[in-house]
Amino acid sequence: MTPPIYIVSGVPGSGKTTVAHALAARYPGSVVIEGDALRAMVVSGHASPLDGWSSEHTLQFGLSWRSAASMAARYVDAGFVVVIEDVLREEDLRAHFYRELGDRRVRRVLLRPTVETALARNRSRTNKTFDTEQLAPIIRRLARSMTTDLDGWIVIDNSRSTVEETVDQIVKGFDSGTAPQG
């Protein structure tokens, strides 16, 4: 059986990167594809979401998402479990992922801590090169918009869960057959 492709989504500060790496570590052969890392490959002309939104942002995010889908397909076909982490909604997956992924197993996870938890985690970040407080309005806006079109997603409030507890919920949910399959 072909290994799964996990999509781990959520607002900034929801724990996507940490959970994605911990989830991938549960498997003997795995790859994490970070959306931010793909977009950071643009050295000159990078469109940061902190600057608002324009057609250039749409272009660069679309390129990163289609690249992530292509990479995921190649790695999963070679036998690796793939974990993609980014701020993704079902509409983004339909527009940029599903055609490339075809009938490969996609397991969608939305990390949805409380807004207060995401904001607090965001404030405590030390791995960003900008004032993370700039993300606060984006976190609030995304938290409101990421509440619909979730059929087939596991939605986890990881406000009070450890990383390992969150990964356990993901793995057990899909492995038990009780999680939605997409």
Average pLDDT over residues 148-161: 93
Q: What's the rounded Cα separation, in Å, for the pair 102 and 117?
A: 35
Residue 124 has a pLDDT of 72
The pLDDT score that the predictor gives to residue 138 is: 83
Quick check: is 64 in a domain? yes
- Domain of residue 92: give its range: 5-175
pLDDT at 110: 97
Number of folded domains that form the chain: 1
pLDDT band at 148; cut points 50, 70, 90:
confident
What is the distance between the alpha carbons of residues 102 and 139, in angstroms, rounded to a whole number? 31
In a domain, residue 182? The reply is: no
Q: Is residue 105 part of a domain?
A: yes
Could you tell me the CATH number of the domain that includes residue 18? Answer: 3.40.50.300
Q: What are phi and psi of 71, to 5 degrees?
A: -60, -45
Q: Say if 180 falls within a structural domain.
A: no
* Cα 73 from chain centre: 16
- Tell me: the pLDDT tens digits for 20-71? 999 999 999 999 999 999 999 999 988 877 777 889 989 999 999 999 999 9
Distance of CA 5 to the CA centre of its chain: 11
d(CA 72, CA 121): 28
CA quadruple 39, 45, 49, 55: dihedral, nearest 10: -100
pLDDT of residue 142: 87
Q: Is residue 154 part of a domain?
A: yes
Q: Say yes or no to pLDDT of 181 above 80.
A: no
Residue 123 in any domain: the answer is yes
Mean pLDDT of the chain: 90
Q: What is the pTM of this model?
A: 0.90
Is residue 65 a part of any domain in this protein?
A: yes
Tell me the H-state helices in 78-154.
Answer: 90-96, 98-101, 115-123, 136-145
Percent of the chain's residues with pLDDT above 90: 69
Residue 145 lies in a domain: yes
